[in-house]
Structure 1
């Protein structure tokens, strides 16, 4: 059986889902002998395609987020190195002035 389909997550498959539900309603006993299998397989294929579309979109978004995080870490590391250089220079100046 298919999970409850959300209109906003599966807009391309709503028609197939409705047709499958009406087939199940109209053929209460014949559905057990394969009357609605073609619709069920079409719905499975449609849901699989929509899943792949969402997965690819999420992958692109995740890679963009990861790139932003890596850039922030690189910036923080550069700031850290700059701070260490500043501290070393300050220590060198204070030790040479004594």
Structure 2
């Protein structure tokens, strides 16, 4: 049995989930002997496909966030180098 599906997370599978639930209600005993298995398999395929779509989208978003973080790290390192160079020049100037 599938858990309760969130309609906003699985919009393409809502109809299949409803059909499976209806099948289970209408065939209280036959469901134990495979009456609803075709719908269950179709729902599993649908959920798997939607999972893959979400996974790929999240991967693209994660890579974009990672690129932003790495760009910020590079900028911070450059700023640190500039600051160290400035301090070094200040020390040299004060020692003269």
Do both proteins adopt the same fold according to a TM-score greater than 0.5, normalized to the shorter chain?
yes
Matched, 1:14 2:30: no
Give the aligned partner of residue 50 of structure 1: 50
How many residue pairs match? The answer is: 96
In 2, the alpha carbon distance for the partners of 1:81 and 1:2 equals 56
The runs of at least 4 consecutive aligned structure 1 residues that moved more than 6 Å come to: none
- 2:7 and 2:85 map into 1 onto residues whose CA distance is 57
TM-score (ref. length: structure 2):
0.98
Match of 2:32 in 1: 32
TM-score by length of 1: 0.96
Cα RMSD for the two superposed structures: 0.5
- Say whether residues 1:91 and 2:75 are aligned partners: no
Q: Which consecutive unaligned segments of at least 5 residues does structure 2 have?
A: none
